Structure 1
Amino acid sequence: MLKRLAAQATIYSIWRERNRRLHDGVTTSTETHFKLIDRHVRDVILGRRNRKNFSNLMLCWLRHE
């Protein structure tokens, strides 16, 4: 489940960067991408923390930082 969340957040971040470059001509740093991905995964986990499959995901995510 955690790999899937991280993959979705990564794809979303790359897609947004692509759109920013094409439409706005603005680029962001790699560090910013990592922060956005981390924030997105944390938000999804926190938003669903009461569900059965998400109860221990935050611990797992923080362990791999």
Structure 2
Amino acid sequence: MFDFTVRARSGFWVLQDVECGDLGAYGTRDEALAAASDWVRLIETPWPVLVCDAEGEWHETVVTPMALH
């Protein structure tokens, strides 16, 4: 399925998938998590995302599928 990571890299927040690699670079952590939310809409269930900040600290959060408008 999906194995998402959001990492701070060179002033951006990069959304990565273990199988597909980099999926996009975003200006903020929240924008990267929103992009992950858009991806999990395909499976229609909340999904864990690992987040690595600029200091190298790891955290886990759960994103919910973005609602269709």
TM (norm. structure 1) is 0.37
Q: Which has the higher helix share?
A: 1
Q: Whose radius of gyration is greater, 1 or 2?
A: 1
Q: Which has the higher strand share?
A: 2
| Higher relative contact order (CA closer than 8 Å, sequence separation 6+) | 1
